[in-house]
Structure 1
Amino acid sequence: MYFPPFAAEDFRQDVHWSTYRCIAGNTVGTIISRDVAVYGVVLQKYEPEVQNPSGFIGSNVLIKCNIPSFAKEYVTITSWLQEPNFNIYPSLEGDGKSHMLLSGELLVYNITRNDAKKIYRCRTHHKLTQDSVVSRNAGEIQLTEFRDRVPPIMNEKSSQFFTRLGDPVVVPCIAYANPKPTFRWFTKRSNEKYIQNILASGRAKIKDGTLIISAVEKTDNGAFYCIATNSEGTETFEAKILVTYPLASTIQPSIQTINIGQPADLICSVTGFPKHNIRWLKNGRTLGSGSRVRLITREHVRFSSIIKEDKGIYQCFIDNDIDSAQSSAELRLGEVAPQLLYKFIEQTMKSGPSVSLKCSASGNPTPNIVWNLDGFSLQNNERLMIGQYMTMFGDVISHVNISAVKTEDGGAYECRAISRAGEDFHSARLNIYGMPYVRFMPKLSAIAGKLFILKCPVAGYPIESVLVTKDGMRLPVNM
């Protein structure tokens, strides 16, 4: 699917701001893709703006670069410029004085009067236009003199930090206080020594109140708390670290062949986190459950007894607020011998009207229906037409339509459903009132020692008797 460029006045929300799915299908089944979200963006110029934070000597200060809401999703803060020409780039720990966090903010440790004289600009990158924009305004630290004692004050009491498994995360804890506070990190987990354990492992460190984890693990998912304390009081900051890992799913078995009436299981193995929703589809439609098809768990589907309609493609979809994934598996039916579901009946009629004979059959693989008349293959002609089609459930239906029947159309009609799994047949007479009539018989072949059956292709009704002769002698001669 291709979306050509469009002018702002041509923007259509139902086209350019919508969710799409791709659907693919064949005789085996149907699958659908994950949701594809399309967001058409009308480009607008944006101006990053650097805040002027306040602080006092000895405290840590966090400088933020604000991006307008309409561009925030597409703009990344790539670096900071401390004028005139000192560039600060993202790092795990910084240089001891200036530390650009992985999330884009600039953290200045232990500010001095000299730091209040410096000015900072942020440099940004727009991922759609590839433009690099430096903030016009320059940020400065507003130094505040505190003569009185002040308990710790935090501008932010909580924040969320999204990070992928194995990636680093840097969590600052900023508090304004006089005298300078001390910082302590802890968790409310069953293991109260969790912080001490990750510090001892070398996987994490605390630098002037900033928690630095070099490679997050799944167990890091959850809330961390920072307490800032001085002689005047305490304040607590809650940092929710949300660890993610790309979702993936696999259905086992990916292909299975089950005979009708037998049980079957489909199990969706899921990796990645966080896990939210799991849903099952069959041939692109939501899988219904009941007494025969049950969800043992969200990941486990059980069929107590397979029926013909169960064959097809099954998909397991998983998603959360960040990611989604799907997998598919095919359920095939074992070979089932053909079975005639509908059979035409014997009919007796006069010449002239039309007549239709119908047979339908099921089986796996789908059988083919052939027609015979008195044991000889039936062929299309100007008055006789054979038609066959398959239903959505895999049944095959075949008709013999005869227009303006004549006496010679009478005889024993047979429909035979055939596949590699076996065959089934049905025969009944079509009687047309009229004089006796014997149709032409082609040359016949037989094998010595094997059974040979000959049906006399007789039409007309009623028939009093049928005689078969060989070389002028009436058969049979040796019953």
Structure 2
Amino acid sequence: TGKPIPTIEWFRNGNKIQIDGSRISTKIEGNHHILIIQNAKVDETGQYIVKAVNKGGKDESSAFVKVHEDVEPPKFTDKLRSIEIKEGQFSELNVSVSGKPKPEIKWFKDGKELIPDGNHIILKSNPDYGYHSITIKNATIDDSGTYSAKAINKVGEDETSAKFKVLEDLERPTIISGLISKKIKEGQTTEMNVTVTGKPKPEVKWFKDGQE
């Protein structure tokens, strides 16, 4: 209150607050003067002072305002799932995670941190959406194991794990081009050949009249 009507100014830590009319604004309701700060930031913590000034003098009031950081421990909203694929195929293991501040993601295979090589093992990340993935190309039996993703920030951590199994690509032996009966004269040289497929590569044995 005061006559004439006082001029009102707001300060934080001794610095005049710039009223932009958007995020930071003021409101007057009769003799009540209100400072409004939307989406307050941690660095807006401090000593706030309001000063009222007119020709008759001045008065002020102060208070300390603490803006706490909005924190949230990591939580996997989409977890790893067990996968089985065949040798030579590729697969993607993906997760979605929330947390404030944005969590750091680390990947592990059988308890050991996984180091991507950019060729066989590729990591992808979109922290803004909390999406993280690992792609395994041309999978081998050695890629089988337990894969884990760990999310860490300063207020906590979360982990998800799943089995990844690479099945041996098996194919029974097949003779696609077989032996051909032939007659030769004594003392001549002959060749008998076949074409065989199979996975893994078949062992071929030769027999004559049932004897190897």
Which range, TM-score by smaller chain?
0.5 to 0.7
Cα separation, 2, equivalents of 1:318 and 1:325: 5
Please point out which of 229, 245, 259 is paired with 2:50: 229
Cα separation, 2, equivalents of 1:233 and 1:288: 60
1:293 aligned onto 2:121: yes
Partner of 2:95 in structure 1? 268
The number of aligned residues is: 154
CA-CA distance at 1:263 after TM superposition:
1.8
Q: Which runs of 5+ in 1 are unaligned?
A: 1-180, 200-208, 212-218, 340-421, 430-453, 459-479
Matches within 5 A, 1:11-410: 193-194=22-23, 222-225=42-45, 227-230=48-51, 231=58, 239-249=66-76, 253-290=80-117, 291-297=119-125, 299-337=132-170
Cα separation, 2, equivalents of 1:319 and 1:326: 9
Cα separation, 2, equivalents of 1:247 and 1:221: 21
Partner of 1:309, secondary structure, is helix
Cα separation, 1, equivalents of 2:71 and 2:147: 27
Q: 1:322 to 1:253 in 2, by over 3 A?
A: closer
Higher relative contact order (CA 8 A, sep 6+): 2
CA-CA distance at 1:317 after TM superposition:
0.7
Q: Is the 8 A contact 2:10 2:49 kept in 1?
A: yes
Partner of 1:426, secondary structure, is coil
Q: 1:247 to 1:336 in 2, by over 3 A?
A: same
Computed over aligned residues only, the root mean square deviation of the Cα atoms, in angstroms, reads 4.6
Q: Is the 8 A contact 1:220 1:241 kept in 2?
A: no
Q: 1:424 to 1:292 in 2, by over 3 A?
A: closer
Q: 1:326 to 1:220 in 2, by over 3 A?
A: farther
CA-CA distance at 1:277 after TM superposition:
1.9
Cα separation, 2, equivalents of 1:317 and 1:250: 13
Q: 1:272 to 1:234 in 2, by over 3 A?
A: same
Partner of 2:44, secondary structure, is strand
Q: Is the 8 A contact 2:48 2:62 kept in 1?
A: yes
Cα separation, 2, equivalents of 1:221 and 1:311: 46
Q: Is the 8 A contact 2:80 2:160 kept in 1?
A: no
Q: Which amino acid aligns with 1:317?
A: K
Higher Cα Rg: structure 1 or 2? 1
